[in-house]
Amino acid sequence: MVEAMKLDMLVFSAHPDDAEISAGGTIAKACSSGKKVGIIDMTKGEFGSRGSASLRLEEAESASKILGLHVRENIGLKDGFFTDDESTKIKLIIAIRKYRPDIVLCNSIHDRHPDHGRAGKIISEACFLSGLRKVLTDLDGVSQQEWRPRSVYHYIQDYFIEPDFVVDITSFFDVKMACIKAFSSQFYDPGSDEPDTPISGPEFFDYLKGRSMQFGRPAGFLYAEGFNVERYPGVNSFWDLV
């Protein structure tokens, strides 16, 4: 078996497009700077009101190219019904140990869609369990070594949550919007006869722009994305902060 590429950052997403909507600018910025970044989609979003599982896989591939991702996988959990159990966590641990990321981004702490908060909790716990050597996993019949990411951060989704820190995405805002619009089945299309959803109206793109400006303004950025921490980060000096 060829050893998988070690990633600098691995982004988990309950549904294809979660990561793009909430952290697309951060992901594109990291890729542009030479960091190796991948996305693991937990489900295919098969119960979404618009589009289909197969179409969303195609859209995810298009979005990945726009972002400059190094890898993207879908682990095929059941949309809306994945549970916080050993089987789910083992699938996540296998992915974490496969790519050995230093940083993990994952779903919001809580949100309108119940999958989001549940995914955020499960992924965080899987990152911890992945560091325990007595939790045994294998990939293609080869035993995996334990691996615990240095940091786990939650991106902020539909519900407003006060961020613990923000990332300047001003130079990558257009890339963020382009990768979101790659999921064309989910967003505004005046010719579509599919049901309206909270994200399918033309105003949703204005909302995303406003949210990015809201996060950016206190830090002096035009556009930013917000994140929550599980443990407070440390810096060497005040001059490491902006």
Looking at every residue in the chain, the average pLDDT score rounds to 96
| Structure tokens belonging to residue 92 | 């996540």
Alpha helices (H) along the chain: 18-32, 53-67, 86-99, 114-129, 173-181, 203-216
Spatial contact of 11 and 105, defined as CB atoms under 8 Å apart? yes
Q: Tell whether the model's pLDDT for residue 1 goes beyond 70.
A: no
Average pLDDT of the segment spanning 81-89: 97
Q: How many CB atoms are located within 10 Å of the residue 117 CB? A: 19
pLDDT given for residue 36 in this prediction: 98
Q: Is the pLDDT of residue 3 over 90?
A: no
Kindly state the average pLDDT of the residues 154-176.
98
Top-confidence residue, 3 or 28: 28
- What pLDDT was estimated at residue 70? 97
CA angle 28-32-35, nearest 5°?
95
Q: Return the percentage of the chain with pLDDT > 90, whole number.
A: 93
User: Distance (Å, rounded) from C-alpha 20 to C-alpha 24?
Assistant: 4
For 36-55, what is each residue's pLDDT tens digit?
999 999 999 999 999 999 99
What is the model's pLDDT at position 190?
A: 87
Evaluate whether 137 touches 93 at the Cβ level (below 8 Å): yes
User: Residue 242 pLDDT more than 80?
Assistant: no
212 has a pLDDT exceeding 80: yes
pLDDT of residue 4: 82
Q: Give every CB contact of residue 74 below 8 A, 6+ residues apart in sequence.
A: 16, 40, 41, 42, 43, 44, 57, 60
pLDDT at 98 over 80: yes
* Residue of 93, 87, 80, 112 whose CA lies nearest to 40: 93
Residue whose structure tokens are 């105003």: 203
Whether the CB-CB separation of 95 and 126 falls below 8 Å is answered with no
Say which residue the tokens 């230093």 belong to: 102
For 230, the token pair is 């599980």
* All domains of the chain in start order, with CATH: 9-240 (3.40.50.10320)
Contacts of 142 (CB under 8 A, 6+ apart): 1
Q: Output the pLDDT for position 224.
A: 98
> How many Cα atoms occupy the beta-carbon half-sphere of 81 within 13 Å?
4
For the purposes of burial, counting CB atoms within 10 Å of the CB of 203, is it exposed (0-12), middle (13-18) or buried (19 or more)? exposed
Find all residues with CB under 8 Å of 79, minimum gap 6, and list them: 15, 43, 44, 45, 46, 47, 48, 115
**How large is the average pLDDT for residues 132-150?**
97
Per-residue pLDDT band at 85 (split at 50, 70, 90): very high
Share of residues in the chain with pLDDT > 70 (%): 99
Residue 240's pLDDT is what? 87
Q: Cα 139 to chain center, whole Å? A: 23
